Structure formats: C-alpha cells, structure tokens
Structure 1
C-alpha cells in the first residue's frame, strides 16, 4: 500500500479552487471544434490557447518531440471515429530538446542525473524536424483507419513568438 505523499498539497489546494468553479460537469468528451493536436510535452506550449480554443474543443496528444507514434495514431483513430475530430494538427516546436540533442547526449545527461547507466534507453531524437514532420503526416495519411476526409496539417510552433508556421 502506498502512503499519501504531502509533496502534492499545493496542487491539491489548487485543484480544490479549480473544482469550486468547475464548468465542464456532464461534458460529453467530444472535441467540439473537431480538432486534434499532436504536440510536444514542452511546458512552453499551450495547445488550446495557441489556436484560440478552450477546454472541450480539442483532443490533445503530447509526447517528447510531438511525434506521431503508434500511441498517437491510436488516439487519432479513436478521435476521428468516436470523438468528433475532423482536423488534425501535428505541431513540433522550436528549441526542442528532442531536436537539439543527440541520442548520446540525452543518454549521458540522463545517466548523470539518474546516477546509473541510461545507454540502453531510446529517446527518439529528431535530427531533421521538417523531415520528421513530413514523415509523421505521411503516417497519418497512410493509416487505413483515419478517414481520407480528415484534414491533416503540419506546423512548427515558435516558443519565442507564439506563432505557428504551417509547413504542410
């Protein structure tokens, strides 16, 4: 049995404040704007805010580098068939650690931080963001369970200006 950890009390207090004015009760879980966004886990990205949406409007899938992984494809299939998604945005970003480090550099940094060997861990480094984005869009277009009628586009989010640049 796990003991309660007090390291989260500030977050629980914030949650109580959030819940006091909670407005999404009874929400159906459908993406009301018909949008899905695949983007990086980077905390500088506000996936909804960057495209003028609010909670309930879109399905968000985040991972290191904003890549279209098998898990992202699974989410997109569910989103397009069951959750109202008609448009998919794939959005990597500038100054991404996954695009500005080599696999060996990340392994070394993690080994140092963890105090143990991380040479076996894969991090999915991106050596060419534009080529990776093109590959990711091709994966979506080629997936047999994502409807051809779904609009799919690729963008790069600039973490210093907040602007999106459409690449495909």
Structure 2
C-alpha cells in the first residue's frame, strides 16, 4: 500500500470519528498563524488548537515574505466578502522554530533573494539562521503593513528539542 492509500484510509477514520460538521470558514479564535512547512512544527498541534480555531499559512521558514503579505491581504478580502473583517479583534502569530532548514540556505542568495523580494544588500536584514531576530523582523513587517491595520501581531519560537514555545515578541 502506498502513502496516498494509507492517508485516504486514515481520512476515512477521521471522517467517522473526528470530523466536526458545521465549522465556519472563519477561525473561531480569529487567529492566523504563519508557520514553517517543517513537519515537526504543525502549528495546530504545537499550540493545542482544535479544528476550526485557527487558520494557518505555512511556508519555508515560517517567514513573512512579499507573497505572505499578499496572501494576508487576500484573506482580509475573503473575510470582508464573508461579512467580517480581518482587522481589529484578529490575531496574527508568527511561529518560527529552532533547527530550521532555511538556515542551511543562508549562503545561497540566488534562492533567498527572490523568496524575500530583496537583493544581496538586503538579505542580511532577513536574519536567516537567527530565528529570534527573524521573528522580530517579521513581526515588525506585519505591524507596518497598512493593509492589515488593527490586527494584533506577536511572535513565538518553538524549540524542536523540548516542545516548548517561547514568546519572542508579545502582542
């Protein structure tokens, strides 16, 4: 049996035992977490969120890139179209982690510059390889984004060795 067949079989169990009917499109906690694609760091699991409580955007490094900002603006438009607004009362959490694979790329500007929408001179500002500084940088970028005015932003660091989360930038 292959991976797809295994996962489809697990979904059958999920549908019978864990599926929650009637979940809304908007997360109950009015929270979006920006996290890394690393499978050790599933934001819902790490933060103990139940199904439907948070929305998650995952990318390499859990970083706030130009693409991430555009996704958030799109999500704001989606919430407005659904009769709400991703604004006051909403939370954005940047969740990065220790031992992140993006640090292995810090000497490859040909990959990182397009990802961050920068050049060699601006790449140091991204703090690739220093998650605490990267979190502070990304929270600052979100707080400075006029199109997300009114959203509370914070930054957390997950330690893959201990399972603990540390607040690096409070809301």
Confirm or deny a common fold (TM above 0.5): yes
Q: Are positions 1:54 and 2:37 aligned together?
A: no
Q: Are positions 1:145 and 2:141 aligned together?
A: no
Q: Are positions 1:162 and 2:163 aligned together?
A: yes
What does 1:88-167 align with in structure 2 at a 5 Å threshold?
88-104=92-108, 122-123=111-112, 126-147=128-149, 149-167=150-168
| Alpha-carbon RMSD | 2.6
Tell me, in whole angstroms, the C-alpha distance in 2 between the residues paired with 1:160 and 1:126. 20
Tell me, in whole angstroms, the C-alpha distance in 2 between the residues paired with 1:65 and 1:100. 11
- Give unpaired runs (5+ residues) of structure 1: 1-5, 105-119
Tell me, in whole angstroms, the C-alpha distance in 1 between the residues paired with 2:167 and 2:3. 41
CA contact (8 A) 1:36 1:79 kept: no
Give the secondary structure class of the aligned counterpart of 2:43: coil
* 2:41 match: 45
CA contact (8 A) 2:98 2:131 kept: no
Tell me, in whole angstroms, the C-alpha distance in 2 between the residues paired with 1:12 and 1:164. 32
Work out which of the two has the higher radius of gyration on C-alpha atoms and give 1 or 2: 1
CA contact (8 A) 2:73 2:148 kept: yes
CA contact (8 A) 1:31 1:84 kept: no
CA contact (8 A) 1:77 1:145 kept: yes
More helix by share: 2
Tell me, in whole angstroms, the C-alpha distance in 1 between the residues paired with 2:7 and 2:159. 29
Tell me, in whole angstroms, the C-alpha distance in 2 between the residues paired with 1:154 and 1:79. 20
Give the secondary structure class of the aligned counterpart of 1:15: helix
| Length-normalised TM-score, structure 2 | 0.73
Q: Are positions 1:26 and 2:30 aligned together?
A: no
Give the secondary structure class of the aligned counterpart of 2:133: helix
Tell me, in whole angstroms, the C-alpha distance in 2 between the residues paired with 1:53 and 1:66. 18
Tell me, in whole angstroms, the C-alpha distance in 2 between the residues paired with 1:135 and 1:80. 22
Give the secondary structure class of the aligned counterpart of 1:145: helix
- Give unpaired runs (5+ residues) of structure 2: 116-126
- How far residue 44 of structure 1 moved from its aligned partner, in angstroms, is 0.8
Number of matched pairs: 148
Cα shift readout 1:45-64 (whole Å, capped 9, x = no counterpart):
13113223111001101111
